[in-house]
Amino acid sequence: MKLLRVIPQNMLEGKKVFVRVDFNVPLENGVVKDDTRIRKALPTIKYLIEKGCRIALASHLGRPKGKRRPELSLSGVAKRLGELLGREVKFVDDCIGDKVKKETESLKNGEVLLLENLRFYEGEEKNDEEFAKKLAEPFEVYVNDAFGTAHRAHASTYGMVKFFNVKGAGFLLEKEVHVLSEILNAPSHPFIVILGGAKVKDKIGIIENLLNKADAFIIGGGMAYTFLKAKNEPIGGSLFDEKHFEAVKAFLSQYSEKFFLPVDHVVVTDLDSLEGLEETEKIGQGFIGVDIGKKTRELFRSKILEGETIFWNGPMGVFEKKGLEEGTFAVAKAVKEATEKGARTVIGGGDTVSAIHMAGYKDEDFTHVSTGGGATLEFLAGKELPGIKALS
């Protein structure tokens, strides 16, 4: 992977640079509600401004599925980026074609242009060759700083890269690869992996790849109930993944000492109304597990505080719902405490990042907060990411 910092100055100054960023941020009436992802891209953008580049930024937003949807326009993002940079950010309501060529040609050195949502065209997600060629046409240098989409072989992350002689990774992408590579290749021990969320299938790869590297797996969230069922524990009407049940049983039969599962639960009979809300060690028929109980929070905390390297992806329950956030917040607090004691802590996944913010913590309270969800999981599962492969 060629890094942006090693591209010679004379190959950057005055050049028209296409930068793939991840500005997939929440909007409300066109106004950015959380600018975290925009802020993460600032070091790369500022570096290119300083080098005198003519910069065009490109991103997707939401899932418009190849159709123009005004509520998913990036125009509001351009305004917020301009405020953060303290300078005008121009906006063009397309990402390919004559309009984009004209706006790009008119840029002066150090000026910034934001293109319209890439996914307004079906060719983006389909990695259509003709669309990729049109994306690349106005530009001389390609930079990818969107780690969150690096696991997708889309036109802007993969297909268009072959049309450039000069290409590189931005500082955010570089940092993500560096931090996650350290976890994979040189974790300090004990190495604790905390996995939650609803879906077992999303975590199978990371468990398989880290089984012989991690010292402990802490399992919570909806995925925990498939693990508990594999131990013949009653799970009532809780989430159960039959398709991956055999894989889970295999993990537990071979590495049972490494897996730490909930020993008590917050349960309800109806998730919408929270009817039947109680804490219990055994989940009865008609009840659904929605969070970890007090004993589990303490068990997980003591294990987390043993860690020297900690990776966390996935909440411990339905934390978005008032009254069901305590388990996730308790884990967030324990990981923060471990960081303060000197552990290297990495948070990954959109829901997990939302949870630490809801709990009142900042990104700076942990060693690294990853901008990747699926990309982070696939990287740690040992998979080759198309967006990184294209730069290599």
In the annotation, is 382 catalytic?
A: no
CB 236 within 8 A of CB 283: yes
- Go through 361-381 and write b for each residue having 16 or more CB atoms within 10 A of its CB, e for each that does not: bebebbbbbbbbbbbbbbbbb
Query: Rounded distance, CA 105 to CA 107, Å?
Result: 6
- Which amino acid is located at 77 in the chain? V
**Which residue of the set 15, 20, 37, 336 is catalytic?**
37
Using alpha carbons only, how large is the chain's radius of gyration in Å?
A: 23
Nearest Cα to 267, choosing from 257, 254, 256, 281?
281
Query: Rounded distance, CA 315 to CA 351, Å?
Result: 7
Query: Rounded distance, CA 137 to CA 78, Å?
Result: 22
Helix 350-358 with 326-340: angle, nearest 10 deg: 90
In the annotation, is 159 catalytic?
A: no
In the annotation, is 168 catalytic?
A: no
Which residues does 290 contact at the CB level (< 8 Å), separation at least 6? Answer: 265, 266, 267, 268, 271, 317, 318, 321, 324
In the annotation, is 374 catalytic?
A: yes
| H or E element, residue 224 | helix 224-230
**Which residue of the set 14, 52, 62, 374 is catalytic?**
374
**Which residue of the set 79, 199, 301, 383 is catalytic?**
199
Query: Rounded distance, CA 226 to CA 235, Å?
Result: 8
Query: Rounded distance, CA 170 to CA 4, Å?
Result: 5
Tell me if residue 45 falls in helix, strand or coil: helix
Active-site residues, by number, are: 37, 199, 350, 374
